Amino acid sequence: MRMQQIFLGVIATASFLGAPLLAQADNDAPPPLPGKEFCKDNPGKCDEARARRQEFCTENPDKCEQMKAKRAERREFCKANPEKCKEQREAMKARRAEMQAKCQADPAKCDEMKEQARKKFQDRMGTAPPPPAPR
């Protein structure tokens, strides 16, 4: 059971930090904070994302605290198990690359998978996932 929670934490962390292919809808969930490199290149977009995230946290403080707690738990796990954490991170990167390849090969199937992920996210979190960041 603990491994399942850790695995979900890895998935959540990778989805939060990476460019999510799945779960992109226009409803009210916090937008992910862009990475440092992106922010250096696009300060306006980063400021906008931070503002949307702050707005979400103001409207949904309980969910924001829950997400912060999960991130802190994951950080502690990675401090305690750096090799295992790195291994899991690499596995997620490989999975993300595999999904990107599948989406490029068959965009219709990719859209179907995204819609299924949105529904799953809504069932679990009660809201839709954040929309994709404008490019």
Please, which residues have CB within 8 angstroms of residue 3's CB and are 6 or more apart in sequence?
A: none
* Confidence category of residue 131, pLDDT binned at 50, 70, 90: low
Q: How far is CA 20 from the centre of its chain?
A: 6
Q: What is the pLDDT of residue 47?
A: 85
Q: Which two tokens stand for residue 13?
A: 């962390």
pLDDT at 105 over 70: yes
Question: To 10 degrees, what angle do helices 82-105 and 2-17 make?
Answer: 60
User: Other CB atoms closer than 10 Å to residue 88's CB: what's the count?
Assistant: 21
- Report which secondary-structure segment, H or E, holds 87: helix 82-105
Question: 135 vs 6, which has greater pLDDT?
Answer: 6
pLDDT tens-digit series, residues 69-89? 999 999 999 999 999 999 999
Please, which residues have CB within 8 angstroms of residue 116's CB and are 6 or more apart in sequence?
A: none
Model confidence, pTM: 0.50
Q: What is the pLDDT of residue 20?
A: 47
The mean-pLDDT minimum among 7-11, 104-108, 131-135 falls in: 131-135
Mean pLDDT for the chain overall = 78
